[in-house]
Structure 1
Amino acid sequence: MNKFKLLVLTMLLLSGLSVFSQNPDFHIYLCFGQSNMAGAARAEAQDSIVDARFQMMGAMDCPDKGREMGSWYTATPPLCDCNAGISPADYFGRTLIENLPSNVKVGVINVSVGGCRIELFDKENYQSYVETAPDWMLGWIKNYGGNPYGRLVEMAKLAQKDGVIKGILMHQGESNPNDSLWTQKVKAIYDNLMIDLKLDPTKTPLLAGELLSAEFDGKCAGFNQFIAQLPAAITNSHVISSEGCPGKPDGLHFTAEGYRILGKRYGEKMLSLLGENQAGLIQRVVEDGGTGAYKAIMYTDNSLPTHTVFRPDDLSVFGKKNQLPIIVWGNGACANSPWEHVNFLSEVASHGFLTIAIGPMPQEGERGAGRSTSSQLTDAIDWAIAQNSDESSIFFGKIDISKIAVSGMSCGGLQTLEVAPDPRVTTAVVCNSGIIGDGGGMPGMPGLTKDHLAKLHSPILYLLGGESDIAYKNGMDDYKRINHVPVFVANMDVGHGGTYRQPHGGEFAKVATAWYKWQLKGDMKAGKLFTGNSPELSQSSVWTVDKKNLP
């Protein structure tokens, strides 16, 4: 028997196979950067309670902490060196653990050096940077064997014997001011990690956090313009917003609370990339859930990850006698994120509507990125109809598929007009928008011409921002040309931005909600805002209105 075991072991070694057992449920993340990734705020009492499923691997020996390089420990801060504070990695891991299945563990390896330029992690040329590094940094670098990139790879290879590397976190840039080549330098580091660790770039995202924002007097906030360019250089990279993350008076570092918020955003983004849909993660209450009778939530559904859903939280009150009409929404600037409109959309949903916006759910403070297309409005309609007939769906039998509104703002308004001829559409709401006379406009906008208006077949509402709205002339011209369907136009002197970001979406949400109630729910009281010789909205001091083909 002993000879047989020896033979098997010899065969394994000769064939290059590993005798280590890699656990696919142990998710590992590599972290690197400078002081904000290391952690520059003192951990507080609330940070000391950590789930044992969240682990950290020491990247250097820390005798005072009882930690040895290359070993796993419960991820009690510091997660970087022996004396760092709380960092984004702390609440990144905690957020994952709170929302992933209980059989999944999360491990982080954090190799960061305060004050360093990105060149310190250049696999080929780091030595030339070390030669010019300030004296106070040399000890830090020495603790990583004189080569932080090499130490990160060394630890990562050890970790791969235990689990699977799922992603990379980075926070760096303060020491590379105005460096237009920074994104390419980061790409070189990322590419080297993919090669050295035999990782698949399509399955290994890079999450890069913004520097302290201008709202907290961030001295390097201007560098965020370079960080925003990372997705153009690295396809599978994602920018984590620092908006709303408090900073220290030094204008460089976050406070402990700032790190908690930022770390949670890293975690939420990673969870969305993993496709997890857990309550409390990819679900959020906007403001107070709206002023309607049904408090609303915002979330991403696994079966429609390209969109954001706004709906009443309690669906038990909906059924055959009280169904949810469908509202689909296109965003301004053809953006693939409803971040500007979440107050508005949540408010509408709180009045008993299933509201679906183009783009994945924005994390708190995140602006989102990418461009959208009109077809995503149709995708949302198709999805809602399918959900209503799916016995496994929470929406089964609860959606009124005969009542559908297509809506949008600015470029999203043009997308709305493009989709409005769909025979399933009951009504359309066009906000701060209108067809450009010659069909021109910004790249990516639907190239509609005025003859498209003849294809409309249902009542339509135009909400415009008055003469200072850049879409005012286009929208008013649409109104003048539409004579074959009911049309109502309302102007409020607020410009192109509308009131979407005001509490509960402001006046635009009030008027749009009344229109939806009338058109999709038959609420005649709400309809009085738009009907009669003197519509109630015409009596408002802030709105000017006009109508055609309406009672």
Structure 2
Amino acid sequence: MIRSFLLFVAAFATSFSIAADSPLPSKDKFHLFLLVGQSNMAGRGVVEAQDKAVNPRVLMLTKEGQWTPAVDPLHFDKTAAGVGLGKTFGQIIAEASPGVTIGLIPCAVGGSPIDTWKPGAFYSGTKTHPWDDMVKRVELALPAGTIKGILWHQGESDSNKELAPAYAAKLQDLVKRFRELVKSPDAPFIAGQMGKFEDAPWSPEKEMVDQASRDLTKHVPHTAFVTAEGLKHKGDKVHFDAAAYRELGKRYAAAYLKLTK
């Protein structure tokens, strides 16, 4: 039993190293951010050279549970994963926080409705359990750092007549559960707007889901809403292009810095 315990400790310690000679910062200097939602949080932009540039103070938790310098794609939900908003967000927050290292925890799942973001829920689209899988990654990350914020981008899969009317209540409940999970009742929660493209008019249901996200700040403290006005899609009228994701990252960062000013 003792041998098994020592092996576990060794494996656990190894999972929290950037490289053999590069230990993580102290827990109070390692600020963690959850990236959750569906495909527009995971990112579907075309990866370019700038998206592979490394900032030693911006790390990502890999699929295997190891901390490495953040490069796109951060996510691994589907083979289509590409540039998202997370890396740009992390870089800006790192620049605004001297002496602090940013840790990004990618957990978004393309196509996942909000109902799959609850304990035990199964999402057939990826044959995964979005909430339960995210919990495992949070529990893996928490010993190394401190959760400082939750970034959410989701809603497309709930923009229909059956699901849209209940979205507002579900979103407010979701924020509560996230905060309970990370043991921080005031953890900043930032929701982003779905793509609002000129050549893809919104349905009444999409307007309803959007309004629920906008109104979150009226009902739940320490929350923010990020607009997607003026951003372009990648050609499919659903997902942003790479430049738009980088801009979204800037807008999320601005919202976070305003919330925590």
User: Same fold per TM (> 0.5)?
Assistant: yes
Contact 1:32 1:170 in 2 (8 A): yes
Q: State the alpha-carbon separation in 1 of the partners of residues 95 and 188 from structure 2.
A: 20
Q: State the alpha-carbon separation in 2 of the partners of residues 75 and 43 from structure 1.
A: 13
Aligned partner (choices 223, 227, 235) of residue 249 of structure 1: 235
Residues 1:226 and 2:226 are matched in the alignment: no
Q: State the alpha-carbon separation in 2 of the partners of residues 151 and 115 from structure 1.
A: 15
Residue 96 of structure 1 corresponds to: 93
* Structure 1 residue 24, shift from structure 2 partner: 1.1
Aligned partner (choices 51, 56, 81) of residue 55 of structure 2: 51
Contact 2:38 2:108 in 1 (8 A): yes
Aligned partner (choices 115, 122, 126) of residue 119 of structure 1: 115
Q: State the alpha-carbon separation in 2 of the partners of residues 248 and 80 from structure 1.
A: 18
Residues 1:193 and 2:193 are matched in the alignment: no
Aligned partner (choices 27, 32, 38) of residue 23 of structure 1: 27
* Structure 1 residue 230, shift from structure 2 partner: 1.5
Residues 1:79 and 2:79 are matched in the alignment: no
**1:292-330: CA deviation from partner (whole Å, max 9, x where unpaired):** xxxxxxxxxxxxxxxxxxxxxxxxxxxxxxxxxxxxxxx
Q: State the alpha-carbon separation in 2 of the partners of residues 169 and 115 from structure 1.
A: 17
Q: State the alpha-carbon separation in 1 of the partners of residues 217 and 27 from structure 2.
A: 30
Q: Structure 1 residues 262, 216: CA separation in 2 closer, same or farther (over 3 Å shift)?
A: farther
Residues 1:270 and 2:256 are matched in the alignment: yes
Residue 148 of structure 1 corresponds to: 130
* Structure 1 residue 219, shift from structure 2 partner: 4.6
Q: Structure 1 residues 44, 246: CA separation in 2 closer, same or farther (over 3 Å shift)?
A: same
Residues 1:40 and 2:58 are matched in the alignment: no
Aligned partner (choices 183, 186, 195) of residue 168 of structure 2: 183
Q: How does 1:344-363 map to 2 (within 5 A)?
A: none
Contact 1:168 1:207 in 2 (8 A): yes
Q: State the alpha-carbon separation in 1 of the partners of residues 41 and 126 from structure 2.
A: 18
Residue 108 of structure 1 corresponds to: 104
* Structure 1 residue 216, shift from structure 2 partner: 5.4
Secondary structure at the aligned position of 1:175 is classed as helix
* Structure 1 residue 176, shift from structure 2 partner: 0.4
Unaligned runs of 5+ in 2: 1-24
**1:230-266: CA deviation from partner (whole Å, max 9, x where unpaired):** 2233222110010122212321110000101011110
Residues 1:168 and 2:161 are matched in the alignment: no
* Structure 1 residue 105, shift from structure 2 partner: 0.5
Q: State the alpha-carbon separation in 1 of the partners of residues 52 and 199 from structure 2.
A: 27
Q: State the alpha-carbon separation in 2 of the partners of residues 150 and 55 from structure 1.
A: 23
* Structure 1 residue 218, shift from structure 2 partner: 5.5
Q: State the alpha-carbon separation in 2 of the partners of residues 185 and 123 from structure 1.
A: 13
* Structure 1 residue 274, shift from structure 2 partner: 2.6
- Structure 2 counterpart of 1:195, which letter? E
Q: State the alpha-carbon separation in 2 of the partners of residues 256 and 104 from structure 1.
A: 27
Q: State the alpha-carbon separation in 1 of the partners of residues 32 and 247 from structure 2.
A: 21
- For CA contacts below 8 A with separation 6 or more, give which structure has more relative contact order: 2
* Structure 1 residue 226, shift from structure 2 partner: 2.4
Contact 1:91 1:264 in 2 (8 A): yes
Residue 206 of structure 1 corresponds to: 189
Q: Structure 1 residues 51, 188: CA separation in 2 closer, same or farther (over 3 Å shift)?
A: same
- Structure 2 counterpart of 1:169, which letter? L
Give the TM-score, by structure 1 length: 0.40
Largest Rg, 1 or 2: 1
Q: Structure 1 residues 22, 184: CA separation in 2 closer, same or farther (over 3 Å shift)?
A: farther
**1:399-426: CA deviation from partner (whole Å, max 9, x where unpaired):** xxxxxxxxxxxxxxxxxxxxxxxxxxxx
Unaligned runs of 5+ in 1: 1-20, 61-68, 142-146, 276-551
Q: State the alpha-carbon separation in 1 of the partners of residues 49 and 94 from structure 2.
A: 19
Q: State the alpha-carbon separation in 1 of the partners of residues 106 and 222 from structure 2.
A: 20
Secondary structure at the aligned position of 2:71 is classed as coil
- Structure 1 counterpart of 2:32, which letter? I
- Structure 2 counterpart of 1:44, which letter? E
Residue 514 of structure 1 corresponds to: none
Q: State the alpha-carbon separation in 2 of the partners of residues 120 and 110 from structure 1.
A: 16
